[in-house]
Structure 1
Amino acid sequence: MPNERLRAAIRAAGLTIEDLAQELHVDPKTAGRWITADGRVPHPGNRRDISNLVGVDEVHLWPSLAESLHVKPNTETELVHLYPSRSSVPFSLWTELIASVKKQMDVLVFSGQFLVEQHNILPVVRQKATEGASFRFMVGDETSTAVTQRAMEEGTTGGLQGRIQMMRRYLAEVASHPNVEVRTHGTILYNSLYRFDDNLLVNGHAFGALAGQNPVLHLQQLPGGLMWENYMRSFDRVWEQARPESF
């Protein structure tokens, strides 16, 4: 499998493969194979340089090194990167995470309209659902107290409700696929959650702030990872009480 942890760490550090190759004085094709080639692990000197460059422990980037006595134990948490706002998450990161989905994508939002209008997610959902990937979308119930209160806090009374209705119309185009489920919820949205296989973007919400202004945690799923389990357990709780949409 491609090394998605390394890919995410390079992207989170604001670098490209070409930047990495230049810093390490290697051919870009070599640097690219560290991500795309199954099980390819760089030489120790290059590993240390990459780890220092992206600010992530070697064992997090290459879990197969965990048993090596020549490599320091992994002290890295599940946190890949902290973005000060959703608006500061690189456009290319959203695109890459969406395109990388092979098994599971989960979304918990009130609207999430930007996924369609900025990242053209619907054709990707159709293709990947046909290939066997599963998709769960939860959008807000625009008649709920939670949505009304959120719209008032944001100063977008009526606007949020309209965006939710638009998102449901978009999702109706893919909801007939057996691997795509759409539900609506009326819970308080403490966090918007975007899961792409073993990557999770957590967009926390602050009172009175727009979603795009609030920080985003980029997490990676690790064995025994408490942060991942906490947020995905929250997702499942909302999913259980959300109402299946019939289009």
Structure 2
Amino acid sequence: MDVNERLRAALLRAGISCAQLADAAGVDAKTVERWISTGRTPHRTTAHKAARSLGEDMAYLWPSLGEGKRGRGLHPELIALHATRADAPLDMWRALFTQARERIEILVYAGIFLHEQWPGFAETLGHKAGAGCRVRILLGDPDAPPVTERGVEEKYGHGIETRCRVALMHYGPLIGMPGVEVRQHATTLCNSIYRGDDQMLVNAHVFGMNAFGAPVWHLRRESDGGVFDRYAESFEAVWALSHRAVKE
């Protein structure tokens, strides 16, 4: 059975442990863990208690209990929406990359917040590649006009170009490693994309605002041609226009 990513994301967002949710719902912690790990659906009364304690819609967490109704009108591929990147918990980012088995893809200008908050991030990517996971990273070219323009738009000056160079420094040890490809691009970045297999975090970009203050969409691929695939196609389009990164 599938993992219930919506429930796991709701727990992280609410800052509630499995044990705490179990107390609120009147079940034991192992039952809550099974709701997450096996996708098991609880009894309606229990589900209602759990959803209420998380501040979520029951039909959103367990669509089968919605009797065919769309929970809050949300798209089935949307697991969670975080108002800002700063609101998205680090555990969510860790889970995205550490649980990936087949592919990891990153499209950013710099995205060095991952290295700042997770000192072993680059090493983790190296280990994933060594285990057979394909890792592709797209960084902004600090000499590209769109990068300079973004700095002006965000009133960030030349800070973005500098962060692009710092990002390349962080990823430098991975360049040339089997299973890892690091490239640079000169495109206008509409969204930063972070993918781990069939899950994706999309950091939307808002004119005049730094990425940390913009929303993050947590998506899970459900079918061909969906929202997830549109962002995946965007990654491929930028990849086709990129060039290999060289260690500085």
Q: TM-score per shorter chain, which class?
A: 0.7 to 0.9
Q: Compute the displacement of 1:8 (Å).
A: 2.5
- Change in CA separation of 1:127 and 1:145 when aligned onto 2, cut-off 3 Å: same
Q: How does 1:2-151 map to 2 (within 5 A)?
A: 3-5=3-5, 6-36=7-37, 38=38, 40-43=40-43, 45-47=45-47, 49-50=49-50, 53=54, 55=56, 72-73=67-68, 75=70, 76-77=74-75, 78-120=77-119, 121-151=121-151
Letter in 1 for 2:230: N
Query: In the alignment, what sits opposite 2:185?
Result: 185
Contact 2:26 2:46 (C-alpha < 8 Å) held by counterparts? no
SS at match of 2:122: helix
Count of residue pairs the alignment pairs up: 240
Q: 1:194 Cα deviation (Å)?
A: 1.0
The alpha-carbon distance between structure 1 residues 39 and 81, as it changes in their structure 2 partners (threshold 3 A), is closer
* Structure 1 unpaired stretches of 5+: none
| 8 Å CA contact 1:7, 1:35 repeated in 2 | yes
Gap regions ≥5 residues in structure 2: none
Q: Quickly say closer, same or farther: Cα 1:135–1:219, change in 2 above 3 A.
A: same
Q: Residues 115-141 of structure 1: CA distance to partner in whole angstroms, max 9, x if unpaired? A: 112123112112211111111110000
8 Å contact from structure 2 (residues 96, 200) kept in 1: no
Question: Do the aligned partners of 2:4 and 2:39 also contact (CA within 8 Å) in 1?
Answer: no
TM-score by length of 2: 0.85
Measure, in 1, the Cα distance between the counterparts of 2:175 and 2:216: 28
Distance 1:57 1:106 in 2: 32
Identity %: 34
Query: In the alignment, is the contact (CA less than 8 A) between 2:47 and 2:58 conserved in 1?
Result: no
Aligned to 2:168: 168
| CA apart distance, 1:61 | 5.5
> In structure 2, do the counterparts of structure 1 residues 181 and 62 end up closer, same or farther at CA, with 3 Å as the change threshold?
farther
The Cα offsets for residues 142-200 of structure 1, whole Å up to 9 and x where unpaired, read as 10010010111222222111111111111111222221111100000111111122221
The match for 2:196 is 196
Aligned to 1:229: 229
Superposed CA RMSD:
2.5
- The 1:183/1:57 distance shift into structure 2, 3 A limit, reads farther
Superposition TM-score, scaled by structure 1 size: 0.85
